[in-house]
Structure 1
Amino acid sequence: MAGLLKFISFFTKYVTLWVILCAVFAYFYPEPLKPYGSWISYFLGIIMLSMGLSMSPNDFKLIFSRPKDVIIGVVTLYVFMPLVGLGIGTFLNLSPMLLVGFVLLGCCPTGTSSNVMTFLAKGDKALSVTISSISTIVAPFIMPVLLLFYVKQYVDIDAVGLFISIIQIIIIPIVLGLIVNKVCKKQMPVIQKIVPLFTVLALLGIILVVVALNVERLQTVALMAAVAMILYTVIGLIVGFSVSRLLRMPQAKGKAMTFVIGVQNTALAVTLGITYFDPLAAIPGAIGVVFTTVFCSFIASLWGNRTVEE
């Protein structure tokens, strides 16, 4: 068991390296991977199940003790980030489906990795966890409405289908994880040490398939999509930080707000992009898996090493 745990620790520590290697492999050898496009939703389900396994009722207690902070975070996310995606897509004159992909990413809930970034930055992790949990729970109700409002002129929106899919690939796995967490409480310390391995494997599966399905498109739009993703991430972080400063939040809360706004569920954007729109709409999320993780980890590490005075 000790050997397995050591391997899991090593494997998850260098997740960014595996993501890059998988992306390169899928780019040069796409054909064997293309038939697995339908597996993407199952991969995301595994990631969401992992989230459920790591959650507890305590993750929601701040909505009662500090509702103002949580509501500000969730509202800021869903109000500003779709506009950021739409604005960048319009400003750079991206193709319609690529623009849809950035708006789709902007409509997604906070990614669970925002909690890691907040921890590295020595921010308010409890606030980060609660906002990411609440934004995920309300996603089935908010995302279809936002997409209908912002991108119906570019593509037909199946709002009911989106609602059902988000319930299936997010809410059900999370609820199942919470149930397992409750029923198998004694075994959870061991389970939670193994879960990261399956989370990373599922993430790599998504990257492999998405890149394989988009090789031809990446050859023409990769540079512009990468520039747009850099702008999107930086602006998202600035929005989160600026809101915290305008509201005079303490530094720890400000760090949490920065990352819950700037780090979103890219895997969900990839899954919904391929399922309901076009493989091209999944490219922003696919690029975001790599860039957002690397860039935000760097910012969080720098921030965490600074003193309050600095």
Structure 2
Amino acid sequence: MDTIARISNWASKYFALLVIAAAVVAYFFTELSIFSNVINLLLGLVMFGMGLTLRATDFSMVFRKPLHVIVGVATQFTIMPLLALLIVWLFQFPPELAIGIILLGSVPGGTASNVMVYLAKGDLPLSVTMTTLATLLAPVATPLIMYIVASDWLPVNPFDLFLTITQVILLPIILGIIFNSIFSRGVQKVTPALPLVSVTAIILIVMGVVAANADNIVEVGLPVFAAAVLHNGGGYAIGYLLGKLLQIDPAQCRAISMEVGMQNSGLASSLGVTHFSPLAALPGAIFSVWHNISGPILANYWNRKPVKKSTE
């Protein structure tokens, strides 16, 4: 298990480089598109691992600092979809790409944000609480947002989206929590391997989506990448400014910034390929690559800047 833990730590440390390498490989080896057929299974595995790590104390921030959590989660499900809509309008993306980008703005924060907040010396409990709460709200929030915002591009069936998100997000998390409560000792032994499982699953998702869209990447890859930079950077800035408006300490500002800026790109890809088309899943893969570049860069910058300890 020590060897697996070391490999897991190495994979987490070099996650960004691994995702980029996977995308490049998948572009040239299109037979890897076979992984696009199991995206839901892979994402469910990641969410099950997330459930294994959750405890009741992870929700304590909802009661200790409800305003911080509510504002952060509300921003994810309001400002970020609207920002995605603005970017789609500015770039005049075709319907399938527009749907994929709006999906990115409508899904909850990704688990990678928790790692980035930790590296950035941010408020990790706040980050975990926001990720968890937003993920649990996603089965209702994401389909509703998509129906309201994205129906002008392609038909959106909110009930089908609800079922998929429940199957690949909510149920695996609940199963993980139950499994952890029953077999807590066993779970503790395999916990060091969970980051490796998550990293591997995300890499396979990216490879599957990129390989399935290899013919389209040359034509649309650069504009979608530019959209990723704008959406992600806008999320970081908006989240941090909200924290400043709330007059909270820098560690909490960093947590909200990361949570708002980094979306669950795996879920966006899953919903795109399941309910729309492989092209609608492409923004999820490209955003995932950029998130895993920008996140470590911002985390490293903040890591070098001291934070004032909260007096609360």
**TM-score normalised by the chain length of structure 1:** 0.96
Which residue identity does 1:3 align to in structure 2? T
Secondary structure of 1:187's aligned partner = helix
Q: Deviations over 1:246-300 (max 9, x none)?
A: 2222212111111110011010001101111121221221011111111121111
- 1 CA distance for matches of 2:71 and 2:12? 32
Which residue number in structure 1 is paired with residue 168 of structure 2? 169
List structure 1 runs of 4+ shifted beyond 6 angstroms.
Answer: none
Which residue number in structure 2 is paired with residue 77 of structure 1? 76
Question: CA separation of 1:5/1:245 partners in 2, compared to 1, >3 Å: closer, same or farther?
Answer: closer
- 1 CA distance for matches of 2:37 and 2:214? 17
Which residue number in structure 2 is paired with residue 235 of structure 1? 234
Which residue identity does 2:26 align to in structure 1? A
Which residue number in structure 1 is paired with residue 56 of structure 2? 57
Which residue identity does 1:80 align to in structure 2? I
| 1:1-310 correspondence to structure 2 within 5 Å | 1-30=1-30, 32-308=31-307
Secondary structure of 2:184's aligned partner = coil
Q: How much does 1:203 deviate?
A: 1.0
8 A contact 2:251–2:307 mirrored in 1: no
Secondary structure of 2:122's aligned partner = coil
Q: Deviations over 1:156-179 (max 9, x none)?
A: 111111101100000011011111
**TM-score normalised by the chain length of structure 2:** 0.95
Which segments of 5 or more consecutive residues in structure 1 lack a partner in the other structure? none
Q: Deviations over 1:57-105 (max 9, x none)?
A: 1111221222211111111111100001010110122222212111110
Which residue identity does 1:138 align to in structure 2? L
- 1 CA distance for matches of 2:193 and 2:201? 13
- 1 CA distance for matches of 2:10 and 2:306? 30
Greater Cα shift, 180-189 or 235-244: 180-189
Greater Cα shift, 269-278 or 12-21: 12-21
- 1 CA distance for matches of 2:307 and 2:7? 36
8 A contact 2:7–2:196 mirrored in 1: no
- 1 CA distance for matches of 2:46 and 2:160? 21
Greater Cα shift, 10-19 or 283-292: 10-19
Q: How much does 1:126 deviate?
A: 0.8
- 2 CA distance for matches of 1:113 and 1:102? 19
Q: How much does 1:308 deviate?
A: 4.1
- 2 CA distance for matches of 1:176 and 1:82? 29
Which residue identity does 1:56 align to in structure 2? R
- 2 CA distance for matches of 1:141 and 1:41? 18
Greater Cα shift, 113-122 or 140-149: 113-122
Secondary structure of 2:254's aligned partner = helix
- 2 CA distance for matches of 1:133 and 1:4? 26
Q: Deviations over 1:115-146 (max 9, x none)?
A: 11111111111111101100000100111110
Secondary structure of 1:186's aligned partner = helix
Which residue identity does 2:216 align to in structure 1? R
Q: How many residues are paired up? A: 308
Give me the identity figure in percent: 36
Q: How much does 1:303 deviate?
A: 0.9
Secondary structure of 1:236's aligned partner = helix
Q: How much does 1:181 deviate?
A: 1.1
Secondary structure of 1:143's aligned partner = helix
Which residue identity does 2:287 align to in structure 1? G
Secondary structure of 2:153's aligned partner = coil
